[in-house]
A = this chain, B = another copy of it.
């Protein structure tokens, strides 16, 4: 394994100069810089990460706390974060928190010496955990006072979705809510309501699962709503499944839609009316933000929001 010293020798300069030629090229004469670079390439030089980390105090490692990996909603966020990290020469430590605040705390504590900063997806639990940490951290899809964050503007999208349903002529609209304690859930309901003149019929809190979606169907049908909006894809799929089983036609007898889109789920129901969530963007934006904190710039704004897009599919139509 070639070290910087080898490069330096080959280029006929000191290690110091070799180092500078690579990290602070403007401090080095053009000719020298070129010689060092050539030597580096020729020798296949690669930094020794620990050595560099020890000397600079930067590990070029970021940790991403994610509640659980089985929820396909997080996958694109992770992918986006990963890409952004990679592009900036960092790597990502993805760790599963199981939504346990205790574990979150533990993990942060365990990893804080190892990483330069944290991204945290923590849809539930007290936000206070993140409030007085002295490490760079940005919260994803959640807002807590005093903590930098990137959120997805699902409520905004739901307002649009509500308007769409209203326009189709729906007057009695159901919202199949998310899990108890969810930060996003009440905001989504509120968003949907914002787009509507009539009061939303809210069901829930519901676990965000296929089963819950299918179990709620009887109650939903009894409510005489003409349209239903599901908190997330799993719920939505359960709903669809049970409706199919009961022979309820979609969208003829009931319009249904979902507050996030299923892309990448591998379970895509084609042409459902959904909100397209630019989750990758949220992930990468969050990474940019922590990196900003890491090297001392104070990225503004400290609370970002990415817009969602209403995708009108074939599961919504005018009520009969």
For A51, the closest partner residue in chain B by CB is B54
Separation in Å of the A83 CB from the closest CB of chain B?
9
For A237, the closest partner residue in chain B by CB is B267
Write out the residue numbers on chain B whose beta carbons fall within 8 Å of the beta carbon of A268.
209-211
For A112, the closest partner residue in chain B by CB is B46
Write out the residue numbers on chain B whose beta carbons fall within 8 Å of the beta carbon of A237.
237, 267
Pick the interface stretch among A34-42, A73-81, A167-175. Answer: A73-81
B82 and A78 contact, CB distance less than 8 A: no
Q: Scan A250-278; emit 1 where CB is below 8 A from any B CB, else 0.
A: 00000000000000111111100000000
Write out the residue numbers on chain B whose beta carbons fall within 8 Å of the beta carbon of A244.
241, 244-245
| Partner of A210 from B48, B78, B269 at Cβ < 8 Å | B269
Considering only residues 202-220 of chain A, those with a C-beta below 8 Å from chain B are 208-211
Is the C-beta of A111 less than 8 angstroms from some C-beta in chain B?
yes
Is the C-beta of A318 less than 8 angstroms from some C-beta in chain B?
no
In the bound complex, CA of A9 to CA of B69 (Å): 45
In the bound complex, CA of A208 to CA of B267 (Å): 9
Pick the interface stretch among A10-18, A88-96, A138-146, A295-303. Answer: A88-96
A91 and B69 contact, CB distance less than 8 A: no
Is the C-beta of A117 less than 8 angstroms from some C-beta in chain B?
no
A70 and B265 contact, CB distance less than 8 A: yes
Separation in Å of the A216 CB from the closest CB of chain B?
15
Write out the residue numbers on chain B whose beta carbons fall within 8 Å of the beta carbon of A102.
none
Residues in chain A within 8 A of chain B (CB atoms): 1, 46-51, 53-54, 59, 68-72, 74-75, 78-79, 82, 91-96, 111, 113-114, 208-211, 234, 237-238, 240-241, 244-245, 247, 264-270
Knowing A59-B49, A209-B268 are in contact, say whether A91-B75 is a contact too (CB < 8 A).
no
Write out the residue numbers on chain B whose beta carbons fall within 8 Å of the beta carbon of A113.
1, 46-49
| Partner of A54 from B50, B72, B114, B267 at Cβ < 8 Å | B50
Knowing A244-B244, A247-B247 are in contact, say whether A69-B79 is a contact too (CB < 8 A).
yes
Write out the residue numbers on chain B whose beta carbons fall within 8 Å of the beta carbon of A50.
49-51, 53-54, 59
In the bound complex, CA of A47 to CA of B59 (Å): 14
A93 and B92 contact, CB distance less than 8 A: yes
Write out the residue numbers on chain B whose beta carbons fall within 8 Å of the beta carbon of A95.
82, 91-92
B70 and A96 contact, CB distance less than 8 A: no
In the bound complex, CA of A95 to CA of B241 (Å): 33
A210 and B69 contact, CB distance less than 8 A: no
In the bound complex, CA of A15 to CA of B193 (Å): 65
Separation in Å of the A287 CB from the closest CB of chain B?
14
Write out the residue numbers on chain B whose beta carbons fall within 8 Å of the beta carbon of A54.
48, 50-51, 54
A70 and B75 contact, CB distance less than 8 A: yes
Query: Can you report 25 A-B residue pairs in the complex whose CB atoms are below 8 A from each other?
Result: A46-B113, A47-B113, A48-B113, A49-B59, A49-B113, A50-B54, A50-B59, A69-B75, A70-B264, A70-B265, A71-B266, A79-B96, A92-B93, A93-B94, A209-B267, A210-B266, A210-B267, A210-B268, A211-B267, A237-B237, A240-B241, A241-B241, A244-B244, A244-B245, A247-B247
